[in-house]
Structure 1
Amino acid sequence: MVNAHTRHPVYRIAIGVDMEGSTSRSNREKSVLRGVVHQAVAESLAAHGVHGDDIDRLVDLGDGVIVLIRPSDRVPKTLLLESVVPELSGALRRHNEQFPNLAVRLRAVVHAGEVHFDEHGQFGELLDVACRLLDAPRLKLALRETSAPLVLVVSDDLYWSVVHHGYDGIAVPSYAPLVNVRIGSVPRQGWVHVPDEPRAWPHPLPS
Structure 2
Amino acid sequence: MHRSILVIDIEGSTAAVRTNPIRQELRSQVYDMLGRAMDYTGIDGGWCDPFEDRGDGVLVLLHPVDELPKTLLLSRLVPKLAQQLAGYNADLPVAELPRLGLRLRAAVHAGEVHRDGKGCFGEAVDLACRLLDAPKLKQCLRNTPSPLVLVVSEDIYWGIVRHGYEGICPTTYHPDLKVSVGGRRRQGYVHVPSVLQLTTALRDHVA
Residue in structure 1 matching 2:89, options 88, 96, 120: 96
Give the AA of the match of 1:12: R
Gap change, CA 1:86 and 1:136, over 3 Å in 2: same
1:73 aligns with 2:66: yes
Q: Which has the higher helix share?
A: 2
How many Å separate the matches in 2 of 1:197 and 1:177?
A: 20
How many Å separate the matches in 1 of 2:195 and 2:29?
A: 23
The superposition leaves residues 124-173 of structure 1 with CA deviations (integer Å, 9 ceiling, x where unpaired) of 11210111000000001111111011000000111000001111111111
Question: What are the ranges of 5 or more consecutive residues in structure 1 without an aligned counterpart?
Answer: 1-9, 199-207
Q: What is the TM-score when the length of structure 2 is the normalising length?
A: 0.88
Q: CA RMSD in A?
A: 1.4
- Please give the residue correspondences for 1:144-183 in structure 2 after superposition, counting only pairs within 5 Å: 144-183=142-181
Cα distance, 1:52 vs. partner?
1.2
Cα distance, 1:197 vs. partner?
4.7
**Contact 1:16-1:109 at 8 Å conserved across structures:** yes
How many Å separate the matches in 2 of 1:184 and 1:155?
A: 15
SS of residue matched to 1:38 = helix
Cα distance, 1:66 vs. partner?
1.0
The superposition leaves residues 12-50 of structure 1 with CA deviations (integer Å, 9 ceiling, x where unpaired) of 001111011111022111111000011111110111111
Residue in structure 1 matching 2:34, options 30, 41, 55: 41
SS of residue matched to 1:23 = coil
Residue in structure 2 matching 1:111, options 109, 130, 137: 109
Partner of 1:7: none
Question: What are the ranges of 5 or more consecutive residues in structure 2 without an aligned counterpart?
Answer: 197-207
Q: How many pairs are equivalent?
A: 190
Q: What is the TM-score when the length of structure 1 is the normalising length?
A: 0.88
**Contact 2:40-2:76 at 8 Å conserved across structures:** no
Q: Percent identity?
A: 49
Residue in structure 2 matching 1:124, options 122, 125, 139: 122
- Further displaced range: 45-54 or 60-69: 45-54
The superposition leaves residues 163-204 of structure 1 with CA deviations (integer Å, 9 ceiling, x where unpaired) of 011111111110000011111421111000012259xxxxxx
Partner of 2:57: 64
